[in-house]
Copies of this chain bind each other. A is one copy, B any other.
Amino acid sequence: MTKRQEQILQIVKDEGPITGENIAEHLNLTRATLRPDLSILTMSGYLDARPRVGYFYAGRPTSSVIAERLHKLVVNDYKAVPIVVAESATVYDAIVTLFLEDVGTLFVVNQKGLLAGVVSRKDLLRASLGNKGLESIPVSIIMTRMPNIVTCSPEETLLDTAQKLIEFQIDSLPVVRPNEEDPKTFELLGRITKTTISRAFVELGKESNV
C-alpha cells in the first residue's frame, strides 16, 4: 500500500462515510488524482462505496488479517523444552533417550552446556543398521555439527521457523542465543518442531468465533 493510500484509509476510518471530494480536500489534491487510489482500495476490499453517501471503511481483507496475525507469533512464546544428551553419550544412550522422552530429534551439548550437535531418528536408524556395538560408538561421531545445524532465535517469527523446517527438510530446530563469552558458540534455549507448528495451527482455528 502506498503512503497516500494509507492516508486515505485513515481519513475514511476517522470521518467516514465521506465523499471522494472531501477526501481530496483533506489531502489538497483533486478528485481525479485520487481516483486510481480509491479504485484500488475499493477493489482490494478495504473500502466500500455507497451512492450519495460516500466511502466507508469495510474492514481489512481476509488475507491481510491472517498474514498480519501469523507474523505476530514469535518463537519465544511457542518453544518447547529441548531434549539433550551429552557429547560423551553413546549412540545407544541416545536411542534410549529418544524413546524415553518420545521425541524425534535430540540436541547434543558439550561440557559447558553449549550446543554441539543434532541427532535425528534417521541418524540413529542409519547407525543402528548392522552395527552391533552401539554402546561403544559416541553420538558425536554421527551427529550433525555446526555450521551445518539450522537454528533459530527466540525473537524469530514462527512463520520463519516453519519455512526453515520445510526448506531444510528437518523435524526440529534448536532455539539458541550466542554465548556471551564466545559468540561463535550457542546456548540452547528450546526447540521448535513441526509439532509446535501444528499446535499453533490448531490454536488459531480455535480462536473465539463470535
Interface residues of A (CB under 8 A from B): 1, 16-17, 44-46, 53, 56-71, 95, 98-99, 102, 104, 121-122, 124-126, 128-130, 132, 134, 158-159, 162-163, 165-166, 169, 171, 193-195, 197-202, 204-210
Assuming the contacts A67-B207, A194-B197, A195-B166, asked whether A202 and B125 have C-beta atoms less than 8 A apart, the reply is: no
Which residue in B64, B121, B162 is a CB contact (below 8 Å) of A122?
B121
The CA of A197 and the CA of B198, in the complex, are separated in Å by 6
| B95 & A125 in contact (Cβ 8 Å cutoff) | yes
State how many copies of this chain the complex holds.
Answer: 2
Residue of B with least CB distance to A124 = B125
A122 to nearest B CB, angstroms? 7
Residue of B with least CB distance to A92 = B129
| B209 & A68 in contact (Cβ 8 Å cutoff) | yes
CB-defined A-B contacts under 8 Å, sample of 18: A46-B210, A57-B59, A59-B60, A61-B210, A62-B68, A64-B208, A66-B69, A70-B201, A71-B205, A121-B125, A125-B125, A128-B128, A159-B205, A162-B198, A162-B201, A163-B202, A165-B195, A197-B201
